[in-house]
Amino acid sequence: MREAQRVATDQGQFVFMNPDDSQRFQPRRITLLIDRFMTHFIKVGGLAVIAAVMGIFVFIFWQVLPLFRGAEVSLVQELETGVPDALMLGVDQWTELPFVLDKEGQLHFIAIPSGERSVVPINLADDAQPSAFAHVPKTQQLAVGTDKGGFSLVDLNYAASFGDDEQRSIGQDVTVGKRYKGGLADVPVIALDYVDGESLKVAVLVQEADGKRVTHAVTLKQKRSLMGAGKVKVAGNQDISGELEGTPRFVRVGAGGQLIAVATDSGSICYLRRDGREFVKMQTFFPFADSATQEIASLDFLLGGNSLVVTNAAGVNRVFSLYMPAKDAERLFGQTKSFAPLPGAASAYAASQRNKSFLMASGETLSLRHGTTETVRWEAAQSYQAAHVALSSKHDRLLTLDQAGTLYLYKLHDPHPEAGMQAFFGKVWYEGASRPDYVWQSTGGSDEFEPKLSMIPLILGSIKGTVFAMLFAIPIALLAALYTSQFQHPRFRAVVKPTMETMASIPSVVLGFLAALWLGPLLENRVPAVLVFVITAPLASMLIGFLWTRMPPEVRVLCKPGYEFLIFIPVLIGCVCLAVWFGPILERAVFVVSDPETGAQVADFRRWWPDFWGGRYEQRNALIVGFVMGFAVIPIIFTIAEDSLSHVPRDISSAALALGASRWQTAFRIVLPTAAAGIFSAVIIGLGRAVGETMIVLMATGNTPIMDMSIFTGMRTLSANIAVELPEAPHSGTLYRALFLGAMLLFAMTFVLNTFAEILRQHLRNKYKTV
């Protein structure tokens, strides 16, 4: 046997080491290589995870970024029309054959990009001559007032054809209809407006007789049947001059012929609404009563005919929309938007046929604005003054015409005009609403619908569902984890923990299904019983615990340590029975409301709650979500918290017990603070599970995006909104990108929450670290 050698250590001490010991503890070369490889592999894997997360965020951000960009406009072509001082500018649906109307009433069609022109005269019936014009872009019609009174309709029919070279060419066919009698006979029409509402067609004619302007509302009707459309006949010729406070300057027909707006030289606007067969005056208002310049320079409708765009001579631009001033009141016009002023009075206007955008010209300035978001999408000074403007039906081209007859064609790229910070995060006053509000409603039943894309109701819904779920889950999960790890007998602990872990594997779609079809209807008529149980169960548990501590030792030893929870089982069963029995009694005693039909007193919590709170009661509400989503979160919090509590060194708790602390004192003052970092991590992971939950909130709530924190109403969360709306979202559309914005908000919320949680966890870990 070889003798041990005396070897000096790095600290200057001497130890005796066998010559074979240095080789015995020397790791093998392959072990070092594997260790080095795994070290680098783990580093690369961690960096890859970080890169993947950042890549996801960059992708989502890239999809969201276009929502916050303004419109891009670029000049494409200039064409000479040869029509100076034109009366009107219009464009076809392809923006390849715009027309210009000259003073003689001739239509000049200009082919783009060739510039070829064709002239089509408007030959009216009865040898009448045109005296006034109005263009209806939606139906591609001209309403032509005549020098003999009345008006005629001119249909502009466009057709596309393809030649052998597969190049598209646009042709036009101008059809002049008969003259409809209206207004005063043999008196020239000096101004008019017309709207084709299919079965109802309305024209407003302004004539001048004996030095006084007279205004008539002419109604046309057309019967439709299975055999097709019938003849158009004049159904009404109403004189509305007596309703006006001043001389009419501008007349506009909106809402499919249901309302008329007339601007007068006194600065007032008269609003008339169709009631039966006649138009009834509803309101007279002064849009610039607070301005030094009250003269109205322009008056036009936005798409849909429910909002008026008004400017004065100083360039002040406002939007007045129909709104409901009080519940069940008649809708009136009120100012809902105010834009940055134009350099001067608006000289030209064009409304988009696709959204609530509108184009205005003032001097040499062109301005594209959006009537819902109250934003200027694009504005720029030009080298000319536009006399007429037009927007293509696809909202991808805009055209202007100056007094000299030069036509300017611009390319327009504005795919998301209804988006922006104000639309997503600010209050917006939508058409028909009584006040500005946060609203999510992505689709509607008509082309004139205003998309409502506020993220605030969805964020509030996510917070609401998460808060109620965590209020239910955190106390149960943490107290259960504390009792299981510190007090429960190992025999039961071996059953409880695997059972809780198995609960975490239940699919959320199953829980949502049970919540929607079983729990919701079950609790709908038993809310008072639930309230009784929520109050009595904790009180009874604390009372039993207090009485147990006052029992003599010879009684308490009858129950083995770790078996105490068996005493609470009959207590909880008794609380359930008490709630079922006392709930109806409480409802009959407290939650009583008068039946509006019979006047009898009815005990019904669902009717009492709206009178007390002011909100409504819904079967699928936040209470159901709190129970079911809390049930899904409890296993996660319990498992992680129980592991953290169980791994607190026994030496610490034993020392506390040895110094005279009770088991509960040791658990709450020693074990719980020591495991605080792990418990906090459990809560945060459970919170992340609740925030991102989709199927439970999708099935167990009404999915109504409302601004209400009541526990008895539903909500819509960001995650559920993505699941609901994604099938209907066209690729790269505004809704599609708005859903990505919702995903980015979820990402940001969880990222900030987890970052804060990690910082706090490290602080707790350092504060309560053990040796």
Say which DSSP state 67 is in.
G
Q: Which helix (H) or strand (E) holds 21?
A: helix 21-24
Q: Taking a C-beta distance cutoff of 8 angstroms, is the pair 309, 317 a contact?
A: yes
**Surface-to-core class of residue 190, CB atoms within 10 Å of its CB (0-12 exposed, 13-18 middle, 19+ buried):** middle
Please give the full DSSP string across 438-461, using - where no structure is assigned.
--EE---SSTT---EE-SHHHHHH
Interacting residues of 382 by C-beta distance below 8 A, sequence separation 6+:
364, 365, 366, 400, 408
Residue 48: predicted pLDDT: 94
pLDDT in tens, 676-688: 888 888 998 899 8
Ranges of the chain whose pLDDT falls below 70: 1-25, 225-229, 768-771
CB neighbours of residue 469 within 10 Å:
29
Domains of the chain: 73-121+287-453 (no CATH), 127-285 (no CATH), 456-524+615-767 (1.10.3720.10)
Task: Compute the distance between CA of residue 130 and CA of residue 330 in angstroms, rounded to an integer.
Answer: 39
| CA 259 to centroid of chain Cα atoms | 30
Quote the CA–CA distance of 144 and 190 in Å, as a whole number: 10
pLDDT the model gives residue 267: 92
**Sign of the C-alpha dihedral computed for residues 560, 562, 564 and 568 taken in this order:** negative
DSSP string, 303-370: TTSSEEEEEETT--EEEEEEE-SSTTPPPEEEEEEEPPPPSSS--EEEE-SSSSEEEEEETTEEEEEE
What gap in Å lies between CA 218 and CA 191, rounded to an integer?
13
Cis amide leading into 137 (omega within 30): no
The Cα 304–Cα 26 span in angstroms is 85
Sign of CA dihedral 92, 94, 100, 106: negative
Q: What pLDDT shows up at residue 4? A: 54
d(CA 697, CA 84): 63
SS3 content of the chain, % helix, strand, coil (to 5): 40, 30, 35
Q: Give the HSE-up count for residue 676: Cα atoms under 13 Å, Cβ half-sphere.
A: 17
Q: How many residues does the chain have?
A: 771
Q: Two tokens at 588?
A: 């009959």
Backbone region of residue 666 per phi and psi (left: phi > 0; alpha: psi in -120 to 50; beta: other values): alpha
The Cβ of residue 37 has, within 10 Å, a number of other Cβ atoms equal to: 10
Would you state the pLDDT for residue 22?
56
Spell out the long-range contacts of 656-659 with Cβ–Cβ below 8 A and sequence spacing 24 or more: none
In the DSSP assignment, the letter for residue 428 is B
Q: Which of 241, 114, 268, 266 is nearest to 187 (CA)?
A: 241
d(CA 452, CA 429): 10
> What's the token pair of residue 524?
């709908």
Beta bridge partners of 367: 360, 379
Specify the 3-state DSSP secondary structure of 601: strand
Question: How many angstroms separate the most distant Cα atoms in the chain?
Answer: 139
Looking at residue 656, its pLDDT comes to 83
State the residue for tokens 């007090």: 487
Give the three-state DSSP class for 182: coil
Closest CA to 94 of 195, 143, 167: 167
The pair phi, psi for residue 290, each rounded to 5°, is: -95, 5
What 3-state class would DSSP assign to 25? coil
The burial class, CB within 10 Å (0-12 / 13-18 / 19+), for 615 is: middle
* DSSP per-residue letters across 533-555: HHHHHHHHHHHHHHHHHTS-HHH
Neighbours of 156 (CB within 10 A): 22
Q: Which two tokens stand for residue 711?
A: 């526990």
